[in-house]
Structure 1
C-alpha cells in the first residue's frame, strides 16, 4: 500500500513539473525529454532490478530513442 501511495505522489509531482516546464519552454523542447522517461525506466530496471536485456527490449528502447531524436531534431536542418 505504501508503494501505491508513493507512486501516486511521484506521478502527481511528475505532472506538476511537466506543466511547469511547458510554461517555461515550447512543447517541442519539453516533449522529447518527457518521452525519454520510458528509456530511463528500461535502464533503471536493468541496473536495479536485474531485468535481462533481450533483443526485443533493446529494439524497443532503440526505436524509442530514434523517435525522440526525430521529435527533437530542429526543423529545416
Structure 2
C-alpha cells in the first residue's frame, strides 16, 4: 500500500528536469586526478540521467573561486 502512494509523484519528478545541460564545476586545474575522476563519473551520470553534463574547471585560490561559483549557481 505504501508503494501505491509513491507512484503519482514519479511522473512529476521527471517533468522537472531542465532542458539545458547541467554544469559540473570542478574547483581544480584541468588534467589532475580530481578532473579525471569527475569526467568519468559525469559520463556515467549523463547516461543514467539521460541528460548532458558539462564539466567546467574553475581553478585558482585553492578551490575557493570554484566553490564560490558553484554556491552562487544553486
Q: After TM superposition, is the score higher than 0.5? A: no
Higher strand share: 2
TM-score computed with the length of structure 1 as normaliser: 0.30
Task: Say which one has the larger Rg.
Answer: 2
TM-score computed with the length of structure 2 as normaliser: 0.31
Higher helix share: 1
